[in-house]
Amino acid sequence: MRRRDFLRKAIGLSLAAGGASIAPLSAWGQACESSVMPRTLVNFMLHGGADLRYLFMPAPSHFDSLYLQRIWPARRALYGNEYANYAQMFDQEYLLTTDPVSGLEFGVSRHAGWLKSEFDAGRVAVIANAVCSQNRRHDQSILNADTGLPNLEILNFDRSGWGGRLVEYLAAAGRDGTNAVEIGPSVSTFNKGSQPGSRLNQVVHAQDMRDISLAAADPDNPGSARSVLSRALSAYYKGRGPEVASANSADWPYHTFFNHHDAISAFGEQVEARLNACLELPEELAQLQLSSPEFAQQCRNLFDVCQVPDALGLGAVSMSYGGWDTHDNETAEISSNLTDIFGDDAGLATAMNAIRNLPEGPIPAASQLMFYFASDFGRQLVVNGTSGTDHGRGTYSIFLGESVRGGVYGEMFPASEARPDQDGLVPLQTPGADIEGLTSTDQLLLAASNWVEPGAGEVVFPDAGSAIVEPGFNPGNLFS
């Protein structure tokens, strides 16, 4: 056959045959079916090492007057020269609240008004003196936090995360197709599974829940370049994928991309079609304006995740917010961050309000979410010379959800920070001193995993049993 004839024939055939054989995407459209929202942990990572001592400060009425005497000069530089004394600063910068367990009064930063409301409603647990790593290095500590292995010293990101291990447990326990869902811009180690070479097998990346499928052929124009390339690539991935799946070892690097294709093809169209049949984004979420547009998108994604949990195989969620490495100019940076996340009418307040207003299924979706706020590490107690704080270790851990037994756990403002240590140094007067870590976060996460599924914690955190816990605190009591 001469090529010219061949071309003419081929093109004619293609154009004539194409339209009828390509099912339009709208065929996926179905009614929005409400589905049961499973208990879901949301790992919320504050990248950079958050100074959560800024978030919580003792009330001027704090019983330990020496502590008050010493924390003010240690932290005063964060608040500029505006305030004559601690009480004046506290009155302007903090909202007074009371721990329902101990009766301790303390302050929550005014920038976190919604968090304070949630605490007052009994939906927030603050665990003092928590520690998730033994070092002060960002990369290593983030790995420690994401893997749930506080003592890990090897800097190798090809490891399983505790979220990945949790969804593997859930799948093994009968929840087939359970996934860790990353709703931030990049998939964190938290999500990764335990099989080298296949660590993303149970991960859904939902950076934008409303834009999650592959560009497809144009059903109205099967001869267009778009349609031609869509068919060519789809045919290649579908044809070649099964062949290479079994013919190559697990660490064959190209598996990843065949898997991406299969996952997005199977998932993306279905999720998008389901969402199109469900509620549109509420106006306040659609129009949400935050300092971090990226975080605003995560809030939208969280709402949509709660609309179609079954389509996602929801088992765990990963969110994040960066910008906590506040070596200088801390107040401006941390205020902005806290406002975005915890402010009245800001990110989480808007998302959770929308989720609470979802049509009620058998179990309200909002009641099934449990947020865990983690960070690389805590920061030093004494403000440095550039109105910021340097890397420390101990910090506060925070859980937020309706199943939390709200309150403060551990000594919120340790008296030892205001008194000489064995070397005669007072931590609140010593540059370099940090919050002493007394409770390992893997103990907390073991309990949280058991809240999701009884028995999960001991499997996901096999070494947590021997980890440290502050005397008098039982992590098993955190959740109802």
Partner 1 sequence: MDKRTGNKDGWPVVCTPVRYTYQSVVKDVTNRLLCFVTLLLTSGLLAANPFVLPPDDSPPMGPAPVAQLEQLDGLATVASENWNVSAIRRVLQAFAFGGHATEHQLQVWAAMQPEQAIIEMLRFDVVNPRLSAMDGARSSGPTCGSLRALQEFWGSEHVRNPVQQFDRSYYGPLDEEGYQLNPIGLFLTWNRAMHTRGCNGFLHKTAFYLTNYHASIHIQNTFVALMRDYYDQTVRALANGMDFEGLMYQAARSGALAVAYGHTASYVNPQTGKFYGNDDFAREYFQLLFGIQGTTEDPEYHEGVTIENNARLLSGMLIDVEPDRFGSQYTPDWLVNEIDFSDHTDAAGRQIFNRTLHHDFRLGEASCLEILHEPICGATADDKLRALGPVAAAHPESMASTPLKLIRFFADERLTPQKSAALQAAWADAELDLLHFLRGYAVSTQFHDPARVKHWSSFERNLNIFNATVLDNRESFARPFFLGPTIPTLNQGGLVFAPIRDVFGGQTGNDAANDRYVFKNGWGVSVATPEYLAVDRLQYQLTENDAPRSWVKQWQKVIPQSTSGGYVIEEVAEWLWDRIIADGGAHFDVLARAQVYSLLATGFDFASVASPEDLDRVYSSQDLIEGPASDFLDELAGMSMDFADPLEQIRVGLAVNFISMTPYSFVSGTYPVPEEAE
Interface pick for partner 1 out of 91, 220, 280, 345 (rule CB under 8 A): 280
Q: Which of 65, 69, 85, 254 binds partner 1 (CB under 8 A)?
A: 254
Cα–Cα distances in angstroms (integers) from residue 377 to residues 266, 334, 440, in the given order: 38, 15, 12
Site for partner 1 in 335-374 (CB under 8 A): none
Residues within window 34-53 making contact with partner 1, judged by CB under 8 A: none
Q: In the complex with partner 1, which residue's Cβ is closer, 100 or 268?
A: 268
Task: Calculate the alpha carbon distances from 249 to 196, 239, 254, 400 in Å.
Answer: 11, 19, 10, 42
Whether 118 and 400 have beta carbons less than 8 Å apart is answered as yes
Among 97, 230, 335, 375, binds partner 1 (CB under 8 A): 230
Residue 17 is a binding residue for partner 1 (CB under 8 A): yes
CB of 131 to partner 1, least distance (A): 15
Total number of residues shown for the chain: 480
For residue 165, state whether it binds partner 1 (rule: CB under 8 A). no
Give the DSSP letter of residue 380: B
The encoded tokens of residue 332 equal 């401006």
Q: Nearest distance from residue 259's CB to partner 1, in Å?
A: 9
What is the DSSP code string of 214-261? -----TT-TTSHHHHHHHHHHHHHHHHHHHHHHHS-TT-TTHHHHHHH
Residue 123 binds to partner 1 (criterion: CB under 8 A): no
Q: Segment near partner 1 (CB under 8 A), from 63-71, 100-108, 289-297, 311-319?
A: 289-297
Residue 329 CA, distance from chain mean position = 25
- Backbone φ and ψ of 319, nearest 5°: -130, 165
Q: Does 226 bind partner 1 (CB under 8 A)?
A: yes
The angle, 0 to 180 degrees and rounded to 10, between the axes of the packed helices 255-277 and 293-307 is 70
Find the part of the chain contacting partner 1 (CB under 8 A) among 85-93, 99-107, 248-256, 404-412.
248-256
98, 102, 379 from 414: Cα distances, Å: 17, 14, 15
Pairing of strands 124-131, 105-109: unpaired
Applying CB under 8 A, among 32, 263, 468, 469 the residue interacting with partner 1 is 263
Residue 105 has which token pair?
A: 């009064």
Q: What is the smallest separation between the CB atom of 254 and partner 1, expressed in angstroms?
A: 4
CA distance 74 to 279: 50
Stretch that binds partner 1, among 10-18, 64-72, 337-345, 351-359 (CB under 8 A): 10-18
394 Cβ contact list (under 8 Å, min separation 6): 129, 130, 131, 378, 434, 435, 436, 437, 438
Among 24, 80, 432, 476, binds partner 1 (CB under 8 A): 432
Residue with tokens 């399983």: 160
18 or 457: CB nearest partner 1: 18
Near partner 1 in 129-148, by CB under 8 A: 136-140
State the CB neighbour count (10 A cutoff) for residue 269.
17
Query: Which token pair is 261?
Result: 């294709």
- Looking at the Cβ atoms of 177 and 185, the one nearer to partner 1 is 185
| Cα–Cα distance measured from residue 22 to residue 326, given in angstroms and rounded to the nearest whole number | 54
Contact flag: residue 429 with partner 1 (CB under 8 A): no
Binding flag, residue 196, partner 1 (CB under 8 A): no
Binding to partner 1 by residue 1, rule CB under 8 A? yes
Let me know: does 76 contact 383? Beta carbons within 8 Å: yes
Interface with partner 1 (CB under 8 A), residue from 240, 345, 363, 474: 240
Name which of 207, 154, 224, 163 is nearest 11 in CA terms.
Answer: 224
| Interface with partner 1, residue 264, by CB under 8 A | yes
Query: 368 vs 395, which CB is nearer to partner 1?
Result: 395
**Is 70 an interacting residue with respect to partner 1 (CB under 8 A)?**
no
Closer CB to partner 1, 31 or 247, in the complex = 247
Q: Are 461 and 147 in contact (CB under 8 A)?
A: no
- Between 16 and 172, whose beta carbon lies closer to partner 1? 16
Applying the rule CB under 8 A, the residues between 379 and 398 that interact with partner 1 are: 384-386, 388, 390-391
User: How far apart are CB 38 and partner 1 at their closest, in Å?
Assistant: 22
Q: Which is nearer to partner 1, 91 or 139 (CB)?
A: 139
Binding mask 299-338 for partner 1 (x = CB under 8 A): -x---------------------x--x-xxx---------
**Stretch of 101-109, 206-214, 412-420, 437-445 contacting partner 1, by CB under 8 A:** 206-214
Which one among 159, 260, 405, 419 touches partner 1, defined by CB under 8 A?
260
